Amino acid sequence: MPAPETVLTVRNLTVRFARSKIHAVDGVSFDLGTERLGIVGESGSGKSTLGRAIMRLLPSAAKVEADQLDFDGAPLLTRSEREMRSLRGNRMSLIMQDPRYSLNPVLTVGKQVAEAALLHQKIGKKEAYAKAAEMLARVRISDVERVMELYPHQISGGMGQRVMIAMMLLAKPRLVVADEPTSALDVSVRGDVLELLDELVRENNSGLMLISHDIRMVAAFCQRILVMYKGRVVETLTRLEDAQHPYTRGLIAAMPDPRKPVRRLQVLDRPAIDALEPRP
Ligand SMILES: Nc1ncnc2c1ncn2[C@@H]1O[C@H](COP(=O)(O)OP(=O)(O)OP(=O)(O)O)[C@@H](O)[C@H]1O
C-alpha cells in the first residue's frame, strides 16, 4: 500500500507516437507526494508528453505503456474515458501556457467560475456567483465585478491564469500539472501567478508537477527537480548546486542568472552528452 501522501506512482512510463521511431517518453519512473516537483528539459525532451500521459490527454496516435501508473493508489491506464473526464474535472487539473485554451470561450469569466462553484459545492445559483466573486478576489483580481462580465478573449494571460487558479481553488484537485504556466506572461506578473499556484497546492495538500524549460525558476519554486533529456530522466535534484550531469549544467548555463552580469551563453555539447546516455 502506498503511503497516504503518495499522489502518483510512475514506473517505467513509455510514450511512443505512431509512425515515430523514437520514444517521446522513455522509461520514466518517479513518485509524487504532496510536494512541488519540477520537470525540466530542453524543447522536445518529453516534458509535456509526460504531463499529458499522466492526465491521459494524449491523442490516440500516442501509445502509452507503464509497469505502474497509479493516481491516489489506483491504476490510471485502465480507467475509461468517462472516469477520466470526471477525475480531470475534480481530482486532477491541468494548467497550460495559454489559459484561453482551457477556459470556455463562450462563457463570461463570472459564469464559468460560478459553474465551478455549483459543481463542487452544495450551493444555489445566487450563492455560486457570490462564491465566484470571492474566489476571484482571492486570486487578487481587484475589479472583480468588471472582470466577471468579460469573455476569455477579453482578458490578459495573467488574468486568465488567475481565473484558472480560482476555479481550482473550488475544485480542490489532488494533482495539479502546470505546463509552462508563466512562459506566456509578462515578467511582472509571473511571480504573482507562481505565488497563487503555491497557495493553491498548499491549501489543498496537492501534488504539483511544474513543467518548464526554465531550470532556475523551477529550482526556486520546487522541492525536487527531474531533468529530462530525449525522453529520459537523466538526473533528480533538490538543489541546482548538486547538478552533476553535463546536460543539466548546460541547461543551467543557458538560463542567465538575473543576479549576475550576462556572459556568453554556453552551447550544449550534444555528442558528449549522448555518449553518457547509451542507447539500445
Ligand atoms: N502529437 C504528436 N505526434 C508526434 N510526435 C509528437 C507529438 N507530440 C509530441 N511529439 C514528439 O514527442 C517528443 C517530445 O515532445 P514534447 O512536446 O513532450 O517535448 P517538450 O519537452 O514538452 O518540448 P516543448 O518545451 O517544446 O513543449 C518530441 O520529439 C515531439 O516531436
pLDDT in tens, 126-172: 999 999 999 999 998 989 999 999 999 999 888 998 999 999 889 89
**Which one has a higher pLDDT value, 25 or 122?**
25
CB-ligand 1 contact for 60 (6 Å cutoff): no
Query: Which protein residue's CA is at the shortest distance from atom 25 of ligand 1?
Result: 43
76 in a structural domain: yes
CB-ligand 1 contact for 47 (6 Å cutoff): yes
- Banded model confidence at residue 70, pLDDT cuts 50, 70, 90: very high
Which amino acid appears at position 216 of this protein? R
Asked if residue 264 has pLDDT above 60, the reply is no
Asked casually if ipTM beats, i.e. exceeds, 0.95, the reply is no
Asked if residue 187 has pLDDT above 80, the reply is yes
CB-ligand 1 contact for 18 (6 Å cutoff): no
Quick one: which atom of ligand 1 is closest to the CA of 52?
Answer: 18
- The parent domain of residue 13 ranges over 8-98+213-276
Number of structural domains, the chain? 1
148 in a structural domain: no
Query: Which protein residue's CA is at the shortest distance from atom 5 of ligand 1?
Result: 17
Query: Which protein residue's CA is at the shortest distance from atom 4 of ligand 1?
Result: 17
Alpha carbon of residue 142 to chain centroid: 26
Question: Which triple of cell numbers denotes residue 268?
Answer: 550544449
- Mean pLDDT for 164-184 is 91
Residue to mutate, 13, 40, 45, ligand 1, most ligand atoms under 8 Å from C-beta: 45
Distance 49 CA to ligand 1 centre (A): 6
**Contact (Cβ atoms closer than 8 angstroms) between residue 3 and residue 146:** no
54 in a structural domain: yes
Counted residue by residue, the chain has a size of: 280
**Which one has a higher pLDDT value, 186 or 33?**
33
Query: What is the 3-state secondary structure of the chain?
Result: CCCCCCCEEEEEEEEEECCCCCEEEEEEEEEECCCEEEEECCCCCCHHHHHHHHHCCCCCCEEEECCEEEECCEECCCCCHHHHHHHHHHCEEEECCCHHHCCCCCCCHHHHHHHHHHHHCCCCHHHHHHHHHHHHHHCCCCCHHHHHCCCHHHCCHHHHHHHHHHHHHHHCCCEEEEECCCCCCCHHHHHHHHHHHHHHHHHHCCEEEEEECCHHHHHHHCCEEEEEECCEEEEEECCHHHCCCHHHHHHHHHCCCCCCCCCCCCCCCHHHHHHHCCCC
- Mean pLDDT for 253-280 is 67
**Contact (Cβ atoms closer than 8 angstroms) between residue 101 and residue 160:** no
265 in a structural domain: yes
Residues 107, 254: Cα–Cα separation, whole Å? 41
Residues 9, 69: Cα–Cα separation, whole Å? 6
Q: Any idea which of 131-135, 188-192, 228-232 has the lowest mean pLDDT? A: 188-192
149 in a structural domain: no
272 in a structural domain: yes
CB-ligand 1 contact for 43 (6 Å cutoff): yes
On average, the pLDDT of the chain sits at 89
Asked if residue 268 has pLDDT above 80, the reply is no
Asked if residue 2 has pLDDT above 80, the reply is no
- Backbone angles phi and psi of 89, in degrees to 5: -80, -15
Residue to mutate, 48, 232, 251, ligand 1, most ligand atoms under 8 Å from C-beta: 48
Quick one: which atom of ligand 1 is closest to the CA of 51?
Answer: 18
Distance 100 CA to ligand 1 centre (A): 21
193 in a structural domain: no
pLDDT tens column, 105-124: 999 999 999 999 998 888 99
37 in a structural domain: yes
Q: What is the pLDDT of residue 29?
A: 97
Residues 35, 272: Cα–Cα separation, whole Å? 33
**Which one has a higher pLDDT value, 260 or 189?**
189
Contacts of 230 (CB under 8 A, 6+ apart): 22, 26, 45, 46, 277
Query: Which protein residue's CA is at the shortest distance from atom 16 of ligand 1?
Result: 46
Contacts of 25 (CB under 8 A, 6+ apart): 13, 14, 15, 46, 49, 50, 53, 231
**Contact (Cβ atoms closer than 8 angstroms) between residue 221 and residue 46:** no
Quick one: which atom of ligand 1 is closest to the CA of 25?
Answer: 14
Q: What is the pLDDT of residue 101?
A: 80
> Can you give the CATH number for the domain in which 19 is found?
3.40.50.300
